[in-house]
A and B are shown apart, each in its own frame.
Chain A
């Protein structure tokens, strides 16, 4: 593979050849068009091969013992950490492995409620999130507020699906501001610099949910100046069971552990323990070793294509989807119709046809989309909806798949409009 600015059809054919699942013929007799990468992405053979190679040659527990396999496994694990950290603009010791982004966000929310934390949250403090969030960046903060007696506040969302920066004014009571980088429903990006500036002005920490940005475009957490950020391996061509938390080093160094046990200690007596420096302090127990190797392979794969090329390719698909759906009068797109302000996911509803039924017709066509509230129930409620259809993209998707999506939506409208209306 060569680094290119643009993915032409030959490049795309090569990419698709790395994902055997894309050749599957589904139960309706049609080839799979996988438009649910926002939920989980497919994995290239390079990722699977890397895990298999590791497991068949170098598997061992990391950071313990002294045999050769342990050394090789530790090297593979830490080399993976360095590559994954570099992919998001971080140094290796700024990346903590978790089982997924949800665990990463829970980790932050727990240590910020710990009385050993320099930034401990308590009664009278304010925790800020947004109405745009996935449940994973909302419920941990609800729970932190419940545990500590702090108050939860949030930025609202405008009618066109942007964060409403006028809906909340921060003051010194605000201790943490947690927000998504890209909405997993409206596809809108948050004004990170503005939110970071507002948080800094009142001394609040920032937590970025980067699940829907890291797989799709170049992301540099240090340049974004956020304090913490979370992302998930399985949404970026990597394995399940591996996610990561980025944290600024001076913060990580000053924070207590979340999960405790093996591997995260310095000295242990029957009465007490002292803890290892980051990142090990936050990585209790045997880690997801082959998954880190697999995620590192995913990072190599994406880097070889180039994240700018990935972003440009997906943007063309998003633009085509918005244009195609806009031509169908029954379709209401959630979020802005202007492709210039949108990223991968495109969620929509079809007047007169429930999202589940649209999804069922698309499934019959081999087109896999997400239906439901996409773990963003408050956001759906904000738009007066219970459920929507969501198409989301990855580097392996094609314009033809977008055409099949649009044709499938038209078929759903015909199917439910004509039949049963007598």
Chain B
């Protein structure tokens, strides 16, 4: 069944029991992203270590489909605790996998539970769902880094 291939149990688990959900203090940057085609939205905060090297927290709130909510939950599991550089590499790997139209199964060592979203890549209309939280994180991480640089000046 194609449906089960797309909605793997790990996705439904994250959807029903999202990790790291809820907006938390402190944070270095907060962004609000929407998917204009469906109205799904996420507000996402990123907190970096004082030296700007490490992602210390990612918190979020919003509403959306199972794919967007589960993908944001998996994102937090993966990038919290990573260096900013590694986190952006994770985002890049996830983005390439879900945009690959099924060609890229994803590297479990890099993406962990995230490889469950490889099936989504066969449904072009759902790629934006999977990327909603991830692209919000990318923007927020850049803004948090920029604001740290501002403070140092």
Contacts and interface: CB of A to CB of B under 8 A. Distances in A.
Partners in one complex: yes
A359 B64 CA distance: 13
A407 interface: no
Contacts of B39: 372-373, 377, 380, 386-387
Contacts of B9: 419-420
Given A361-B3, A419-B7, A386 B40 contact: yes
A28 B6 CA distance: 12
A354 B3 contact: no
Interface string A350-374: 0000111100110010000001110
Contacts of B41: 386
Interface residues of A, number: 22
A364 B2 contact: yes
B2 A420 contact: no
B37 A415 contact: no
Interface in B20-38: 37-38
Nearest to B70: A420
A147 interface: no
A246 B97 CA distance: 49
Given A357-B65, A360-B6, A372 B126 contact: no
B15 interface: yes
> Interface size for chain B: under 10, 10 to 19, 20 to 34, or 35 or more residues?
20 to 34
Contact of A371 (B6, B38, B66): B38
A146 interface: no
A420 B13 contact: yes
Nearest to A364: B3
Contacts of A419: 7, 9, 12
Contacts of A356: 38, 40, 64-67, 126, 129
A313 to B, nearest CB: 30
Nearest to A361: B3
Interface in A323-377: 354-357, 360-361, 364, 371-373, 377
B1 to A, nearest CB: 8
Contacts of B92: none
Contacts of A416: 12, 66
A27 B5 CA distance: 13
A387 B37 CA distance: 9
Interface in B111-153: 123, 126, 129
A377 B39 CA distance: 8
Interface in A404-422: 415-416, 419-422
Given A360-B123, A419-B7, A386 B13 contact: no
29 contacts: A28-B2, A356-B38, A356-B40, A356-B66, A356-B126, A356-B129, A357-B65, A360-B6, A360-B123, A360-B126, A361-B3, A364-B1, A364-B2, A364-B3, A373-B38, A373-B39, A386-B38, A387-B40, A415-B3, A415-B7, A416-B66, A419-B7, A419-B12, A420-B7, A420-B11, A420-B12, A420-B13, A421-B16, A422-B13
Given A377-B39, A419-B12, A420-B13, 14 more contacts: A28-B3, A354-B64, A355-B38, A356-B66, A360-B123, A361-B3, A364-B3, A372-B39, A386-B38, A415-B7, A416-B66, A420-B7, A420-B9, A422-B13
